[in-house]
Amino acid sequence: MKIIDRHNFWSVVCIVFTLLLFGKILLELIVQDVFGNYQTNILLMFGFSLLATFVLSQHYRFQKYPLLVVILGQYILLIGIVMLITWIGGWFGELHEEAYWDMFLSFTIPYVIGVIIYYVAVFHEVKSANCALKEIKEHKSRAEGKREI
Amino acid sequence: MKIQYQREPFLEEDYVEVHYREESEGIKTIRDFFTAFQSITGKKENDIYKIHPESIYYLEVVDRKLFAYQEKEVYQLEYSLQHFLDCFENCGFVRIGKSTAVNLYRVNQVKADLNMRLRLLMDNGEILILNRTYKKSFLDALYHIREVCYENH
């Protein structure tokens, strides 16, 4: 068990909250036999979060491609899966007439915000480090050139 | 600064002595320059070799023994990792893990890894993982060296 400190505080809060929420859904299902739209939405959101985190975490495989292409590619893949799940959901119950549009907005808005923060931070850090390395190497080769002269 | 060169054919080993009144920036630069030339001894298959710190790509502690990795060769050093870093920090060595340190001048490229870790692609093609705990100190050291380069330019 990890000691809670300022670095993992919010992660721990999120984990505890998720566990409590799942416990509540499970308890309601067992004790009250309740499993409606509310519970389905919570589980769907968890599934989408899991999926989005997994797809985003694969960014290191696409470093040779331009950032925008990677972001768009991952988004298209994810929104495709979301729409597929919504379509499959339509087999088991009647969908609202704006269900697809609502799913699109519910997924796109947080995705765009999260993506911007995540990628900009990671790529900026890597880019800055590589720039520094390049400058150091150039300086070193110049210094070695002078030494040889 | 007065510089003298004296050829003494009967010396057992070449040496440099620097005499100074106060440790100025110039003296520090000379110290850093010669630290890179300072050789240390490394053991390989019961033979002792002289190696230059700047030729080392990275260091790793395995079974409480410190190993220095050059482009192709590996030597065991009679140092602790911390002691080595204290002595040769000016040669660009920085810790990247609990038991690993890297020579920044031998890092070719930095790449992002899963879980926000960084992967260091070395000049000889090897890949090292930069532990998240040491990421800040690594990047600080990198930017510090760049600043020093600009100052000396």
B139 contacts A125? CB cut-off 8 A: yes
The pLDDT value recorded for residue A60 is 66
Report the distance separating Cα A3 and Cα A35, nearest Å: 36
DSSP-derived letter for residue A6 is T
The pLDDT value recorded for residue B115 is 53
pLDDT at B127 over 90: yes
From B107, B112, B149, residue closest to A139, measured CB to CB:
B149
Q: pTM of the predicted model, to two decimals?
A: 0.58
A140 contacts B153? CB cut-off 8 A: no
Report the distance separating Cα B109 and Cα A145, nearest Å: 22
- Choose, out of A2, A64, A130, the residue to mutate when testing the contact with B (most B CBs < 10 Å): A130
Q: What is the pLDDT of residues A27-51, one digit of tens each?
A: 999 998 888 888 888 888 888 888 8
The pLDDT value recorded for residue A148 is 55
pLDDT at A147 over 70: no
Query: Residue A130: its chain B contacts at CB < 8 A?
Result: 109-110
pLDDT at B100 over 90: yes
Chain A, chain B: beta-carbon pairs less than 8 Å apart: 52
pLDDT at B14 over 70: yes
Structural contact between residues A132 and A126, judged by C-beta atoms closer than 8 angstroms? no
Per cent of chain A over pLDDT 90 is: 20
Taking Cα atoms as reference points, which of A65, A74, A82, A37 lies closest to residue A123?
Answer: A65
Query: Residue A126: its chain B contacts at CB < 8 A?
Result: 110-112, 118
Residue partners of B119: CB distance under 8 A and separation at least 6: A60, B110, B111, B112, B113, B127, B128, B129, B130
Report the distance separating Cα B11 and Cα B16, nearest Å: 12
Structural contact between residues A103 and A83, judged by C-beta atoms closer than 8 angstroms? yes
Instruction: Give whole-number Cα distances, A40 to A1, A45, A90, B153, in Å.
Output: 31, 9, 13, 64
Backbone angles phi, psi at B67, to 5 degrees: -115, 135
Query: Residue A54: its chain B contacts at CB < 8 A?
Result: none
The pLDDT value recorded for residue A112 is 84
For A75-88, what is the mean pLDDT? 88
Query: Residue B136: its chain A contacts at CB < 8 A?
Result: none
The pLDDT value recorded for residue B114 is 53
HSE of A79, CA atoms in CB hemisphere, 13 A: 19
Q: What is the pLDDT of residues B130-148, one digit of tens each?
A: 876 788 889 999 998 888 7
Mean per-residue pLDDT of chain B: 85
Q: Is B79 left (phi over 0), alpha (psi -120 to 50) or beta?
A: beta
The chain A residue lying nearest B116, using CA atoms, is A122
What is the predicted ipTM? 0.71
Query: Residue A124: its chain B contacts at CB < 8 A?
Result: none
Q: Which residue carries 């190497």 as its tokens? A: A137
Mean per-residue pLDDT of chain A: 83
User: Which amino acid, one-letter code, is at A146?
Assistant: K
B116 contacts A59? CB cut-off 8 A: no
Task: Indicate the pairing of strand B127-130 with strand B118-122.
Answer: antiparallel
For A17-21, what is the mean pLDDT? 94
Residue A64 pLDDT class (50, 70, 90 cuts): low
Residue A20 Cα, gap to closest chain B Cα (Å): 25
The pLDDT value recorded for residue A23 is 93
For B37-42, what is the mean pLDDT? 78
Per cent of chain B over pLDDT 70 is: 92
Residue A91 Cα, gap to closest chain B Cα (Å): 37
